[in-house]
Amino acid sequence: MDNHNNEIDFIVDENGQKIKKYKKDGNLKKEFYEHELAHLQEELVKLQYWVKERGLKVAIVFEGRGSAGKGGVIKRITERMNSRIARVVALPKPTEREKTQWWFQRYVAHLPAAGEIVLFDRSWYNRSNVEWVMKFSTDRQVEEFFRSCPEFERMLVRSGVILLKYWFSVSFEEQRRRFESRNQTPLKRWKLSEMDLEEHRLFTQYSKAKDRTFEFTDIKQAPWYVVPSDDKKRARLNCISHILEQIPYKNVVPEPVELPDREEVPYIRPPMQEQTFVPQKY
């Protein structure tokens, strides 16, 4: 990307040091990315305290093609947060029983209660994307989804749920590059499934599925936000920054507490040699 030419190409950190923003190819430099990410994660912690104090219910949906960067941004969002407040929902394929349920039923069980943030790594939109493209659902089921989904989401919003929906958009060329990287790296090869290969082959059909999904479900009460993600670092920062802008919050992080002294009680510990220790190899 070349849209940074008219911007200041550096920032000044807390120590007065200049940090350049961009590489020659327009992508973000690692040092700048890490500086900005640390700041945004600090703000996410503030948001977390606010959500807990105010009893807010926040549901964030992350959708997009395989390798588009959904998992990466979710990891960075939750990295510094309390897992009791911010939790990730990534459901496996439905069981035989779940296949007979109302489509939204198993997702409802994972919606946030007061003081919780739930991040859906894929969601009820599986029906109009993966399931429709891969022919796991019938056309009738998909059409019913398009009728029901807007009303379902309006009900969530009316009930007090803050619903944010993000679509991570990656080009065919970049998806191929990422899949090739996974294929050539043994530690990443588990992330390249037969479903990913089929999705790559059906790239155009997934584009059609996304467009149809937006046509019916890009509603005023819960609009879709598209995150261009060919540059993963830029996508992560932009998405986190946008989330923080959607939920007004104040800094209610508690002040440091005074640590208590140890209470002295009569007690003799058993000999240390009676315990089994992990070998000290490092």
**What does the pLDDT read at residue 87?**
97
- Check pLDDT > 70 for residue 270: yes
If you compute the radius of gyration of the chain from its CA atoms, what whole number of angstroms results?
23
| Cβ-Cβ contacts under 8 Å for 219 (sequence gap 6 or more) | 150, 153, 154
98-151 residue pLDDT tens: 999 999 999 999 999 999 999 999 999 999 999 999 999 999 999 999 999 999
Residues paired with 168 in a beta bridge: 64, 227
Would you say 69 and 234 are in contact if contact means Cβ atoms under 8 Å apart? no
**Residue with the larger pLDDT of the pair 194 and 14:** 194
- Check pLDDT > 80 for residue 271: yes
Please give the span between the terminal C-alpha atoms of the chain, in angstroms, as a whole number.
44
**What does the pLDDT read at residue 25?**
83
Closest CA to 161 of 101, 118, 210: 118
Position 9 confidence tier, pLDDT thresholds 50, 70, 90: confident
Superfamily of domain 57-232: P-loop containing nucleotide triphosphate hydrolases (3.40.50.300)
CA 230 to chain CA mean position, Å: 16
Position 3 confidence tier, pLDDT thresholds 50, 70, 90: very low
**Residue with the larger pLDDT of the pair 202 and 12:** 202
> Would you list the domain boundaries of the chain?
57-232
Quickly count: other Cβ atoms within 10 Å of residue 116's Cβ: 18
Q: Where is average pLDDT lowest: 4-18, 90-104, 132-146, 244-258? A: 4-18
| Cβ-Cβ contacts under 8 Å for 244 (sequence gap 6 or more) | 40, 43, 44, 47
- Check pLDDT > 70 for residue 6: no
- Confidence (pTM): 0.91
Q: How far apart are CA 214 and CA 208, in angstroms?
A: 10
- Dihedral sign, Cα of residue 248, residue 254, residue 256, residue 259: negative
DSSP letter string, 29-98? PHHHHHHHHHHHHHHHHHHHHHHHHHT-EEEEEEEESTTSSHHHHHHHHHTTS-TTTEEEE---SPPHHH
**What does the pLDDT read at residue 22?**
87
50-83 residue pLDDT tens: 999 999 999 999 999 999 999 999 999 999 999 9
Pairing of strands 161-169, 57-64: parallel
84-101 residue pLDDT tens: 999 999 999 999 999 999
The mean pLDDT value for 21-40 works out to 91
